[in-house]
Amino acid sequence: MRIGQLARRSGVSVRALRYYEEQGLLESTRTPGGQRDYPDDALDRVQLIQDLFAAGLSSRTVVELLPCVSSGTATPAMLDRLTTERDHITERIQDLSRAKSKLDRVIESVIAANVVKE
């Protein structure tokens, strides 16, 4: 699959895909004409990378963890790292949930007071 097709199918920019390659997150081969050619599983990998970034992991951390996440196997040290990152994500989810609850209460009080102005 060419880079443009992968970008369209994944919703990720061509520039981001090139960055993923530079960081060692994504691999491609080159056609005789020099164009990038991605394997069929590249779409799943890009989606996984996006999920890990959305969870707040840095590209350096994703590079370290991606082999374990992709293969389902890990050394004890990598398992500890995965657990630590999962715990950080859990904390962020809890923080976001608290913030959402506060916003819900503000919205409810504004609606109850009928103070919405256009």
Q: What is the pLDDT of residue 21?
A: 93
Question: H/E element holding 44?
Answer: helix 42-54
**Residue 27, C-beta contacts closer than 8 angstroms, at least 6 positions apart:** 21, 39
pLDDT in tens, 37-91: 999 899 999 999 999 898 888 888 898 888 887 788 888 988 898 899 899 999 9
Distance CA 77, CA 83 (A): 10
What's 1-73's CATH class?
mainly alpha
